[in-house]
Amino acid sequence: MREIRLYNTLTNRLEPLDPLHPGEVRIYTCGPTVYASAHIGNFRTFVFQDILRRFLRSQGYRVLQVMNVTDVDDRIIHSAAAAGIGIREYTDKYIRAFLEDIDALGIEMPEELVRATDHIEDMVTLIEKLQQKGFTYTTDGSIYFRISKFPEYGKLSKIDLSGIQPGARVDVDQYDKENARDFALWKAPKPGEHFWETRIGPGRPGWHVECSAMSMKYLGDTLDIHTGGVDLAFPHHENEIAQSEAATGKPFVRMWLHAEHLIIEGQKMSKSLGNFYTLRDLFAKGHKPSTIRFLLLSVPYRRQLNFTEDGLMQARSSVERLRNFVTRLKAEQFAAGSNREVERLVETAENEFEAGLANDINTAVALASVFDFVRDANTAMDRGTFLEQDAPRAVAAMEKFDAVLAVLADRDDETLAKLGFSRPNQRMPAAEIEALIGERIAAKKSRNFQRADEIRQKLADSGIVVEDTKDGTVRWKYK
């Protein structure tokens, strides 16, 4: 098995992946907080995680991935109350939308998608364990984690607690905490708020404890990989480490992977700047799922990604190029035989593709190997040195690449239609298209080029592109 190296935020180094359970990689992924639609920045992180899991599987690993859904927090409680419905009902619709969104982007479902509110009992058990070991204290019914009892606090984010300057910014809750950095494991209910009646009293869980409880429940005390956006490293992941390791006495996570943020047209994405896009906003503007996925995956995950209109155009063209190649492979007739040179091209591409991804999921290198292959194979086809037996081999390679990339197989129209974004101007019935193309071929044969061009224009107006090929056949596709 090829060695896979990943950049571990805990050690700030590239390290070889060495799963605790041979052949199986256990991953925990911080999922969405379902109080609103996820935005394009969220999906940068989720697409990265999808590339990671797809690559691991393509390398023969079993993957056991758990993603949480945070369906209880202040915003949810308040919004649900304002809407006069329960938090479960309130979050259901956002969970549904999230599932539709990740499906639209070709993101595979994790093996376990778990809701925080289904695991209150597990969190209570974890908090009890921390209480027994003396890592907590209670103030007014809220239970806090005492950071001073956990000397390794700060090892992920490399913050030095001794150097903290008190003052500048003070949390509003500070008065009931011993230390400003202590965080809530359990929050006492406020009047009128949703709460659970439990062995540790009435209340609701703090944000951090949910991830510790659920990850260890499904993946064991020590996980192979924990992923999330860079912003989560502190305090969320730092707190997860503290809770989990204090409770079990074992290392919580062997490798921490953090995806850099996405910015929009060079600016930080924020609601006040009005550059806050959901997937559906982009679909409504006419962008295809494959375009968005390609753009999100084309920049390696540890690099900030500038999400721009121009970038979307470029991504769209790139995907077109790859898809055109596969279409050509399947449609064109080649002379009998097979060419060892082409086989060599395939092997080189497959090797470089894997090597790129194995080096900290370097998608830019992986894509370069695919494009190299596409160009060289196209050249061989143009020169007539690409033979009949080479085609299925090349198709197989492209399918292998797409098992990770997931942008070649064209589900765009289908996906958009499912979400209500069908484009009626592209819905000319196939029979009518075929009839027009037949008429155009006849017109061309009788050298009535004016009529032929009229038909081509008519099809173009309906979003259909016609391509004449060398051997006289005609291909068409939706634009």
Partner RNA sequence: GGCGCGGUACCCAAGUGGGAAGGGAGAGGUCUGCAAAACCUUCAUUCGUGGGUUCGAUUCCCACCCGCGCCUCCA
Angle at 116 between CA 111 and CA 120, to 5 degrees: 120
Residue 391 as a binder of RNA (CB under 7 A): the answer is no
Q: How far is the CB of 308 from RNA (least distance, A)?
A: 7
Give CA–CA dist 79/90, Å, rounded: 8
Give CA–CA dist 176/179, Å, rounded: 9
Residue 203 as a binder of RNA (CB under 7 A): the answer is no
Residue 116 as a binder of RNA (CB under 7 A): the answer is no
Residue 279 contacts residue 296 (beta carbons within 8 Å): no
The separation between the first and the last C-alpha atoms of the chain, rounded to the nearest angstrom, is: 41
Give CA–CA dist 346/400, Å, rounded: 11
Residue 271 as a binder of RNA (CB under 7 A): the answer is no
Q: How far is the CB of 211 from RNA (least distance, A)?
A: 10
Q: How far is the CB of 225 from RNA (least distance, A)?
A: 14
Residue 235 as a binder of RNA (CB under 7 A): the answer is yes
Site for RNA in 168-197 (CB under 7 A): 169, 171, 180-181, 183-184, 187
Residue 219 as a binder of RNA (CB under 7 A): the answer is no
Q: How far is the CB of 21 from RNA (least distance, A)?
A: 26
Residue 43 contacts residue 307 (beta carbons within 8 Å): no
Q: How far is the CB of 468 from RNA (least distance, A)?
A: 3
Q: Which of 20, 120, 263, 409 binds RNA (CB under 7 A)?
A: 263
User: What letter would DSSP give residue 105?
Assistant: T
Q: How far is the CB of 22 from RNA (least distance, A)?
A: 28
Encoding tokens for residue 396?
A: 């197989």
Among the residue ranges 55-63, 144-152, 233-241, 422-430, the one whose residues contact RNA (CB under 7 A): 233-241
Residue 113 as a binder of RNA (CB under 7 A): the answer is no
Listed in sequence order, the DSSP H helices in 220-276 are 238-248
Nearer to RNA, 348 or 389 (CB): 348
Q: How far is the CB of 161 from RNA (least distance, A)?
A: 10
Q: Which of 137, 150, 195, 371 binds RNA (CB under 7 A)?
A: 371
Number of neighbours of residue 423 by Cβ within 10 angstroms? 14
Site for RNA in 44-83 (CB under 7 A): 44-45, 73-74
Nearer to RNA, 153 or 325 (CB): 325
Q: How far is the CB of 249 from RNA (least distance, A)?
A: 26
User: In the beta sheet, which residues pair with residue 228?
Assistant: 258
Question: Dihedral of CA 78/83/87/92: which sign?
Answer: negative
Site for RNA in 289-318 (CB under 7 A): 298-300, 302-306, 308, 310-311, 313-314, 317-318
Nearest to 214 by CA among 77, 67, 96: 67
Encoding tokens for residue 214?
A: 């659920």
Q: Which of 149, 321, 393, 423 binds RNA (CB under 7 A)?
A: 321
Encoding tokens for residue 339?
A: 């060419």
Site for RNA in 23-42 (CB under 7 A): 30, 32-33, 39, 41-42
Is the bond preceding 166 in cis, omega lying within 30 degrees of 0?
no
Among the residue ranges 88-96, 118-126, 339-347, 447-455, the one whose residues contact RNA (CB under 7 A): 447-455
Listed in sequence order, the DSSP H helices in 220-331 are 238-248, 279-284, 289-298, 309-331
Nearest to 291 by CA among 40, 30, 467, 42: 40
